[in-house]
Amino acid sequence: MPTLTKIYSMEEVAAHNKQDDCWIVIDGKVYDVTPYMDEHPGGDDVLLAVTGKDATDEFEDAGHSKTARELMEEYFIGELDEASLPEIPELKIYKKEEPKDSVQKLVDLTKQYWLVPVSVITISVAASVLFSRKK
């Protein structure tokens, strides 16, 4: 027969953040490590640093033994409600535009700044008309 597990929010876990009331979260499971504070080989400072928080990274980084992992089960009191975790915003991915060749850039600039080519053509026509009459 399956046992029902108590579900805690991260807010509830965060409220238990003192020496005499110390809860931590490891891999989505909530542990009341208050009675273990004096027995912890790394000292109670290590547990106090992560009390009321998700200590998964710190626990894994410490390289705990199989015995330590089995001992954790004595202090298991429930699971973390995943919905209580802060939502991580979705990353936006931007596609970098392919660089345009210089001819295409010139065409784009010409379309944007049409006055420049029109002025060049006008001056060229005017100059050719003025200089062709003197002959």
Average the pLDDT over 80-92 and give the result: 73
pLDDT at 1 over 60: no
Amino acid found at 65: S
| Residues 45, 46, 52, 53, CA torsion sign | positive
H or E element: which one contains 84? Answer: none
In this structure, the dihedral spanned by the alpha carbons of residues 97, 103, 104 and 106, taken in order and rounded to 10 degrees, is: 110
| pLDDT exceeds 70 at position 95 | yes
Q: Which token pair is 17?
A: 């953040």
- Which of these ranges, 38-42, 51-55, 114-118, 122-126, has the smallest mean pLDDT? 114-118
Tell me the mean pLDDT in the region 113-121: 81
Nearest to 26 by CA among 72, 63, 70: 72
pLDDT for 100 equals 65
Q: Give residue 50's pLDDT band: very low, low, confident or very high (50, 70, 90).
A: confident
The closest alpha carbon to 40, from 22, 13, 14, 15, belongs to 22
Looking at domain 7-80, does it have CATH number 3.40.50.11540?
A: no
Q: Would you list the domain boundaries of the chain?
A: 7-80, 98-134
Select the more confidently predicted residue: 86 or 16: 16
Split at pLDDT 50, 70, 90, the class of 116 is confident
Mean pLDDT of 78-85: 78
Q: Considering only 36-40, 71-75, 113-117, which range has the smallest mean pLDDT?
A: 113-117
Residue 55 dihedral angles phi and psi, to the nearest 5°: -105, 20
Query: Is the pLDDT confidence value at 64 over 90?
Result: no
Report long-range pairs for 122-131 (Cβ below 8 Å, ≥24 apart). Answer: none
- Amino acid, single-letter form, for residue 49: A
